[in-house]
C-alpha cells in the first residue's frame, strides 16, 4: 500500500470511528507501528489530525482564527448560547471565556438580568456595554489576537483574586481520552485558572469540538461540571461523557 493510500485510509477511519489506534491498524494492515506513526506525524503536520498517546483523534476545526470560527456551526452555537444564558441567575458572578459561542452567550443574557460578568475577552465586554444591569469586569494583559483574549502573568494574577459562581469555558477539543483542550499554551493556563476559581464550569460544546482534540490540554473532562450541547447532537458523539460524571444539557 502506497503512502497516500495509507493516509487516506487513516483519515477514513478517523471519520468513521472517531479515533485511530496505531497498534490495531498496524496489525490489520501487516505494517510496522513505526510506519503508521510516521503517517500520523505527516498528517498531524498537515493539520488533519491530532496525535495522542497510542494513536490519533480528529483535529478540531475550532482552532481557526476568530473571524473564521464565526462561520462554523452558527445555528448550533446560537441554541447552545441561549441554553447557557438561561443558567445565569440574578446576583451571580460569572466568568465568560472568549470565543464565538461565548460571544453569542453574552448577546443572549436577558435585559432584566442583574449580575457581574468577568471576562478576559474585549469582544465579550463590548457585547455587554449596552446591557443596563450587568457590571462588567475586564481582565487585562497581553492581547492574544488569534482569539481576541488577554493572556499572561497579569491576567493570571487578576483571575486569582476573584471567585465566581459559574464559568463558561471555551475549548477547541473535547475528548474522553485527551480531555478539554485548546490550540494555544497560554490560553490553556488562563482557562485552567478560571476553572480553579469557579464553583461550576460549563463547556459550550458545538458539534465540531466533540470527540476531537487540540495540542494543549486544559484539564480532564471530569474536571468540568457539564457540557451544553445542541439538541440534535447524536448520542454517539456524547458516548462516555456521562460516565465521567458530566451533566449533559441539551439546548
Mean per-residue pLDDT for 119-130?
96
Cα dihedral 166→183→76→201 (10° resolution): -10
- List CB contacts of 29: < 8 A, sequence separation 6 or more: 1, 6, 9, 36
- Cβ burial 31-66 (10 Å sphere, 16+ → b, else e): eeeebbbebbeebeeeebbbbbeebbbbbbbbbeeb
Mean per-residue pLDDT for 155-162?
97
pTM confidence score: 0.82
Range name among 3-7, 109-113, 131-135 with the lowest pLDDT average: 3-7
Indicate the helix (H) or strand (E) that contains 17.
Answer: helix 3-17
pLDDT at 73 over 80: no
pLDDT digits (tens, 9 = 90+) for 185-213: 999 999 999 999 999 999 999 888 888 88
Amino acid at each position: 500500500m502506497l503512502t497516500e493510500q495509507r493516509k487516506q485510509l487513516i483519515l477514513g477511519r478517523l471519520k468513521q470511528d472517531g479515533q485511530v489506534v496505531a497498534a490495531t491498524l498496524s496489525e490489520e494492515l501487516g505494517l510496522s507501528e513505526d510506519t503508521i506513526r510516521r503517517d500520523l506525524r505527516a498528517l498531524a503536520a498537515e493539520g488533519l489530525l491530532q496525535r495522542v498517546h497510542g494513536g490519533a483523534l480528529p483535529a478540531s476545526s475550532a482552532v481557526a482564527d476568530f473571524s473564521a470560527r464565526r462561520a462554523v456551526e452558527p445555528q448550533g452555537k446560537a441554541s447552545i448560547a441561549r441554553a447557557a444564558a438561561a443558567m445565569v441567575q440574578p446576583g451571580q458572578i460569572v466568568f465568560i471565556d472568549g470565543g464565538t459561542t461565548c460571544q453569542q452567550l453574552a448577546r443572549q443574557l436577558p435585559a432584566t438580568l442583574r449580575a457581574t460578568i468577568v471576562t478576559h475577552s474585549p469582544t465579550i465586554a463590548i457585547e455587554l456595554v449596552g446591557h443596563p444591569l450587568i457590571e462588567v469586569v475586564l481582565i487585562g494583559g497581553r492581547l492574544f489576537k488569534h482569539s481576541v483574549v488577554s493572556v499572561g502573568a497579569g491576567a493570571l494574577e487578576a483571575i486569582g483574586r476573584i471567585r465566581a459562581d459559574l464559568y463558561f469555558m471555551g475549548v477547541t477539543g473535547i475528548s474522553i481520552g485527551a480531555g478539554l483542550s485548546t490550540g494555544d499554551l497560554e490560553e490553556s493556563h488562563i482557562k485552567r485558572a478560571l476553572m480553579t476559581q469557579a464553583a461550576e464550569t460549563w463547556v459550550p460544546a458545538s458539534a465540531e469540538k466533540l470527540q476531537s482534540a487540540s495540542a494543549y490540554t486544559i484539564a480532564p473532562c471530569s474536571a468540568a461540571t457539564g457540557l451544553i450541547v445542541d439538541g440534535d447532537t447524536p448520542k454517539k458523539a456524547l458516548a462516555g461523557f456521562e460516565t465521567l460524571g458530566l451533566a449533559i444539557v441539551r439546548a
